[in-house]
Amino acid sequence: MKKQDWKDDHIEELLKQLPKITNHISKQDMYQQMMIYKEQKKRKRWLTPSVASAVAVLLLCILVPTMINFQDSAGSNIDDSEQENQLASNATQQKEENDEITNDESNHTQGNTEDIVKDEEVDPQEDIDQTGDIYAQNDQSEYTTANDNNEQPVTQQIEPTAVYAEDIKDQEEVLTYSIPDHNVQNFIPISVMVNKEADLSKMELFINHMSDLKEAEWGLGELNPFNADFHYDTSNQVLAVDFPAATNISSSSQSEAIKEILTDMMADFNIEKIDLLTDGEQGVEMGNEGFTEKIDQVDTSNKSAYYFYYPNEEWTTPFLVPFREKINSVTDAFAAMKKGIETYNLKASIPNDIDFETEVVSDEQLLITFEDDADIKNDEETLYTIEAILLTAKEFEYNEVKLENTEIDQIGRFDLEKEIQVPVAPNKRDLP
């Protein structure tokens, strides 16, 4: 057979002689069929989870009866038939849910092809933006949950040390005890709140609650180390203090402590006289002062400045303690409070970096204007300083103090935009 000499022109001529082939399928239909085929391939991946779910249900039906028999052998009172029926019901429900998933997937595959094409044409950047929105929503949800569960860090309310008018309930009475420190140098006023009793005076409540005090727990000495008995005559306002027969008040510090404690009681309760007895008999031996029968009213007109006292180095919250010395004015008292008294272990209650001017607005109100560079913060140290200022102002018979130029409007519970009422009593403590 003769070999053909194939040339381009000859090949082109032969191709033109071939019959014409026409494709009646439109481009859009062809594209839709391709997308359906692609989607069907994706849906086949769902078969594995469905088979796995069916196997899990089958294993559950096989294993659970064995577990039920084991529980029966251990003394369980669960009804076997109810358990098996429940399991069968759960298995049927699981199978129905799997069938629904399969049917939904099949229906989704046969649905509107234009929606599928639209989904496939989503901009990738839009996917990224949606993902970012989801993370942002999750972050916000976690923040809200943390707030709902009180887990979000918040500024904790700083509690003052003194008793204020808003702390006292209708049927409560405030009692203040003057308790010495272990060196019998300072006398710390400790205030407790107790329930009123209709048939008892405040002085009688004071006597009844002496035994409830927790001096050692508070880091202080004893209020009544000699276990004396106290009796108050409300008709003539006379307090009788009866010491046991074996009482030995040998040191001057002991006798001085007794006089200080009783003098404070006399001033607080307007007692006219205090009778001292030993085992029911008039008089008591008071160390260097000798035999003493009574304590008459003393001059309590001296005003005191308040300082910080810490029972030991581990103590973080100070007691606010008045130092018993004569001070002429509240301005002099504030100046003294910046120095402290080392010999009495009393610390300065006004820091050196807090300077202010004092102005008497009226007989009841004191105005304190801080310097521009005063370090006023909403923290515990500043709160205790404000309380020392308030208690000292009370010593000079002011009822309220207005603080100006603080640069903050709140310290603990104190609203600095308003006048602050002075405390009712210092050093609040709870009784058991």
The full set of domain ranges for the chain reads 34-106, 165-296, 305-421
- Integer Cα distance of 161 and 419 in angstroms: 19
DSSP structural state of residue 158: P
Q: Which helix (H) or strand (E) holds 239?
A: strand 238-243
Average pLDDT over residues 304-310: 97
Residues 325 and 302: beta-carbon distance below 8 Å: yes
Q: pLDDT digit string (tens) for 234-264?
A: 888 899 999 999 888 888 888 888 989 999 9
Average pLDDT in the 174-201 region?
Answer: 95
Per-residue pLDDT, averaged over 9-28, amounts to 69
Q: In whole angstroms, what is the distance from residue 367 CA to residue 404 CA?
A: 8
Note the pLDDT of residue 64: 56
- Rounded CA Rg of the chain: 45
- 163 class by beta-carbon count within 10 Å (0-12 exposed, 13-18 middle, 19+ buried): buried
**At CB < 8 A and 24+ separation, what contacts does 170-176 make?**
171/195, 171/196, 172/196, 173/202, 173/205, 174/424, 174/425, 175/202, 175/205, 175/206, 175/209, 176/268, 176/425, 176/426
* pLDDT number for residue 146: 39
Element (H, E) at 321: strand 319-323
Matching residue, tokens 């329930």? 195
pLDDT at 58: 67
Q: What mean pLDDT comes out for the span 155-173?
A: 88
- With a cut of 50, say whether residue 329 has pLDDT above it: yes
The total number of residues written for the chain in this structure: 432
Whole-angstrom distance, CA of residue 104 vs CA of residue 111: 10
Nearest to 300 by CA among 263, 328, 327: 263
* Rounded average pLDDT over 251-278: 90
Query: 401 with 390: CB under 8 angstroms?
Result: yes
The residue ranking higher by pLDDT, 135 or 98, is: 98
Q: Between the CA atoms of 42, 44, 46 and 50, what dihedral angle is there, to the nearest 10 degrees?
A: 180
Which letter does DSSP use for residue 426 in this model?
Answer: S
Quote the CA–CA distance of 247 and 242 in Å, as a whole number.
Answer: 10
Handedness of CA 324, 174, 235, 179 (dihedral sign): negative
Mean pLDDT computed over every residue of the chain? 79
The percentage of residues in the chain with a pLDDT greater than 70, rounded to a whole number, is: 67
- Tell me the per-residue pLDDT of 101-131, one tens digit each, with 9 for 90 and over: 444 544 444 444 444 334 444 444 444 344 3
Q: Which of 39-48, 91-100, 130-139, 276-285 has the highest mean pLDDT?
A: 276-285
| 3-class secondary-structure state, position 320 | strand
Residue 201 has pLDDT above 60, yes or no: yes
The residues near 135 (Cβ < 8 Å, ≥ 6 apart) are none
Which residue did the predictor score with more confidence, 90 or 22? 22
Q: What confidence score (pLDDT) does residue 111 get?
A: 46
Q: Say if residues 160 and 412 touch (Cβ distance below 8 Å).
A: yes
Pairing of strands 238-243, 273-278: parallel
β-bridge mates for residue 231, sequence order: 240
Q: Exposed, middle or buried, 269 (CB in 10 Å: 0-12/13-18/19+)?
A: middle
